[in-house]
A and B are shown apart, each in its own frame.
Chain A
Amino acid sequence: MSFAKAFSPALREIRIIFSQTGPASAGTRQFIVSKYPDIKKHNPDLPVLIREATGTPARAFARFARGVEQHVELENLSAPEVEAKVAELISS
């Protein structure tokens, strides 16, 4: 799935949490560097929170209407795998 488009309005917030240096988060970091500007460009009002903390397992959260949250584990995934997981998460 391409991230260069506007997401469904049901999606209210994306949070991506990972470690700055941990090898298990490498794919997630790569994903953010390549896709974050695209996502923001097409969804300027969608909050995308990127939070880094040493040694945290990489995870992504999506919040939908009425505070319903879903999340996926991104630990040890490569960049394309992260992409697939996140795409699945936000379209769920």
Chain B
Amino acid sequence: MLRIVSSVSRPTSTGLLGKVAVTTHTPHNGRRSFSSTSSRGADITLTVDGKEVTVPQGSALIQACEAAGATIPRFCYHDRLAIAGNCRMCLVEVERSPKPVASCAMPAMPGSKVFTNTPLVHEAREGVMEFLLANHPLDCPICDQGGECDLQDQSMRYGSDRARFHEITGKRAVENKDLGPLVKTSMNRCIQCTRCVRFANEVAGVEELGTTGRGNDMQIGTYVAKTMDSELSGNVVDLCPVGALTSKPYAYHARPWELKNTESIDVMDAVGSNIRIDSRGVEVMRIQPKTNDDVNEEWISDKTRYAYDGLKFQRLTTPLIKRGDRFVSATWEDALAAIADGLAASGAKDDEIQGVVGHLTDAESIVALKDLINRLGSDNLALDQPGGNAAPVHGVEKADAILLIGTNPRHEAAVLNSRIRKSWLHTGLEVGLVGERADTTYGYDFIGEDAKALSNFIAGKGPFVEKFKNAKRPLIIVGSALAEHPDGKAMYNDLAKFVEKNKDKLVTPEWNGFSILQRVASRPAAYELGFPKFIYLLNADEVDPKSIPQDAFVVYQGHHGDLGAQLADVCLPGVAYTEKGVTWVNTEGRAQLGRAAVSSPGASREDWKIIRYVFSWPIYRWGPLPYDDILEVRDRLWDISPTLVRYDVTEPTSQEIAIAGLKTLATQTGGAKVAGTPLRNLSQTSTKLILYQERESVTMAQCTRAFVKGENYGFTAFA
């Protein structure tokens, strides 16, 4: 931790220019990473504006200044990217240095005296601002960055009040680039800070984006025109300090000062990224990332960022009852009565009553549904894996060998993938893959694509075995698709035995190296709780219509009129994730609290409230489910699993318990036959990966056309 020690020593006037230069400048290492996970050396102490401050060795001067409470303006420097040092906005004065130094590119030196608030520094900043603005277009009124533009803000604070440049030939002009349907470019505004280039190359693994030309001719782009094919591309919009890269779907929709910000949790994948929902009135205008070092750092995937427009279409707003072949709107009372009649008419009892929990379901409503189904005397499906199978998203960076089985994290959990890449770049991480080959943005050893390859690996054959054996913190990440694969059981059996055999490395008190990567937000919660001629579909759209018997009575509760709703006899309108404050559990088992940003449309209600009232008539001998408000539901969650209400932390599984669970897994899956079908990754367009909200999203449809099919997505005219 950075900490201020004292503020005793005062600045001396001898610290100004003209002293003999003692060269403290060491060539900086561009690969230095200041993220929370980098290892730290000893601490050093220096003085900033008379304040003594202690920072870890290897920190940049700019970090030391921040720690001392001095704000340093910057454009190119970013905590999570390599250092470029090319904007010069961060100049500070260092004692015995002949010129002002760029504090981001200069390592903090023990004992040095730094000044951030002297006339020289002010003049230097003013000069830099003047140069930057000399060629920057004056289009702030029509620029989408307006109100959240670093250039605007810093020119107000540090710039001069007049310009001395009048270019007779006009300002520099640069052609716009077409980066795809998500990122809009206006390259005249670019100040060549190269944040976008560094992000694309380091974090996203899209190496096409770069700079061409020099000086006045320098341009950002892909050289040969190409869209930016990355599932993290939206982050460059946040990184760009000016309006050169802005969001295309959000173009001209709102100004930042009109928006209400609500911090919440994303549900598009099982990473549980922290997000900020920006809304105006009842409309979600955009989704921005919120920093959480343990989960998503500062990034979110494009799906998280751009699928929100699907929330506006095809919503269920009133209860619907099917009459003949069409749905008619009904009141809540009539709909609930219709469900009660339906149950009676179907004659379903005990396990014939089935609850199906779909993607995008929160922990509260899953618990409510479980209680409801149990009350009706049914027990359909319970999955009782000990919690030890949760994938530690954070642990990924600590691992030194990762074995991926039947998963392509790039598409299933993009932000997690960026962490694997980060670790692969900066440490000696080795990755092995059993499953379909894919472009993962990092190198891997391909082991094979079926159950046989896996058992060969476990038997100790192949080149990756050695690497995995030598690793100190090996990690196995099993894709959730494995459970659905015909050979899944056999592979689980192999794995359980393998993990048990190598438990001194894979399951130790401080390391759990066996994890399952869940695909969607509610899967971990459904596993946690245990769930499968009366069917209650809770947000479940991935059901196979053929698996539902003709004469069954189907209730669908959800927020979109999609596949599940088509099958239903009664539809109950629930609300979407931006409209409710509920608990979401991510793939590590981390419970996080989402918050409602906008009100829900029409007569829709929060999901647990709906479930609470289904079958609450006196004839059922019981009243509504025994919780009156969300806090009582959470008390119930606490009884079911205390981890569900332990917000923002992951609860580790103890070693013995994990091993007991593995033993059981091994006996349960014992003797399974191997069919030898190869494992297939879910393709980007597979319905399993695409959630129904996304199916309604125009932006996501354009992405599919541009990135998956490689067509012209029809948005170029806007660029």
Q: Let me know if B384 and A33 touch, CB within 8 A.
A: no
**Given the complex, which residues of A lie within 8 Å of B376, measured CB to CB?**
66
CB-CB under 8 A for A20 and B384, given A41-B667, A52-B657, A66-B375: no
Task: Contact check, B657 vs A47: say whether CB atoms are below 8 A apart.
Answer: no
Given A29-B654, A61-B639, A67-B371 in contact, is the A52-B668 Cβ separation under 8 Å? no
The residues of A that contact B530 with a CB separation of less than 8 Å are: 13, 47, 49
Q: Could you say which residues of chain A place their CB within 8 Å of the CB of B668?
A: 40, 44
Query: Which residues of the partner chain B approach A52 to less than 8 Å between Cβ atoms?
Result: 387, 643, 651-654, 657
CA distance A53 to B646 in the complex (A): 8
Residue of A nearest to B667 (CB): A41
Task: Say whether, besides A12-B374, A48-B384, A67-B371, A54 and B657 are in contact (CB < 8 Å).
Answer: no
Q: Is B579 an interface residue (CB 8 A)?
A: no
With A17-B642, A41-B667: A50-B374 Cβ-Cβ less than 8 Å: no
Given contacts A29-B654, A29-B657, A41-B667, contact A51 B379 (CB under 8 A): no
**B374 in contact with A51 (CB, 8 Å):** no
Check B374–A20 contact: CB distance below 8 A.
no
Which residues of chain A are within 8 angstroms of B387 by Cβ–Cβ distance? 50-52
Q: Does B66 contact A (CB under 8 A)?
A: no
Chain B 647-665 interface residues, beta-carbon cutoff 8 Å to A: 651-654, 656-657, 660-661, 663-664
Contact, CB under 8 Å: B651 / A53: yes
How distant is the Cα of A47 from the Cα of B664 in the complex, in angstroms? 13
Q: Tell me how far the C-beta of A68 lies from the nearest C-beta in chain B, rounded to whole angstroms.
A: 9
Q: How far is the CA of A20 from the CA of B651 in the complex (A)?
A: 9
Q: Which of B625-677 contact A (CB under 8 A)?
A: 639-643, 646, 651-654, 656-657, 660-661, 663-664, 667-668
User: Quick one: given A51-B641, A51-B642, A52-B387, are A13 and B379 in contact (CB under 8 Å)?
Assistant: yes
Q: Which residues of chain B come closer than 8 Å to A13, judged between CB atoms?
A: 379, 382, 530
A47 and B641 alpha carbons, distance in the complex (Å): 14
Closest CB of chain B to A24's CB: distance in Å? 14
Contact A40/B664 with A13-B530, A53-B646 known, Cβ cut-off 8 Å: yes
Separation in Å of the B366 CB from the closest CB of chain A?
Answer: 13
Closest residue of B by beta carbon distance from A63: B374
Least CB distance from A54 to B in Å reads 6
- Check A36–B660 contact: CB distance below 8 A: yes
Contacting residues of chain B (360-398) with chain A, CB-CB under 8 angstroms: 371, 374-377, 379, 382-384, 386-387
Distance A37 CA – B668 CA, assembled complex (angstroms)? 10
Note all chain B residues with C-beta closer than 8 A to A36: 660-661, 664
Most buried by B among A12, A20, A52, A61: A52
Per-position 1/0 for A1-33, Cβ under 8 A of B: 000000000001101010011000000010011
The answer on a CB contact under 8 Å between A53 and B643 is yes
Q: Is the beta-carbon distance between B384 and A47 smaller than 8 angstroms?
A: yes
| Residues A54 and B651 in contact, CB atoms below 8 Å apart | yes
Which residues of B are found within 8 Å of A33, using beta-carbon distances? 656-657, 660
Q: What's the Cα separation between A47 and B379 when bound, in Å?
A: 10
**Cβ of B553 to closest chain A Cβ, rounded Å:** 20
Among A32, A44, A53, which residue has its beta carbon within 8 angstroms of that of B657? A32
A56 proximal to B (CB < 8 A): yes
Give Cα A77–Cα B643 distance, bound, in whole angstroms. Answer: 22
Q: A32-B660, A48-B384 known; 5 other A-B pairs, CB under 8 Å?
A: A12-B379, A29-B654, A29-B656, A37-B663, A49-B640
Where the two chains meet, the residues of A that have a C-beta atom closer than 8 Å to any C-beta of B are 12-13, 15, 17, 20-21, 29, 32-33, 36-37, 40-41, 44, 47-54, 56, 61, 63, 65-67, 71
**12 A-B pairs (CB sep. < 8 Å):** A33-B657, A33-B660, A36-B660, A36-B661, A40-B664, A52-B643, A52-B651, A53-B643, A53-B646, A61-B639, A67-B374, A71-B639
A-B pairs, top 3 by smallest CB distance, nearest first, are A47-B382, A67-B374, A53-B642
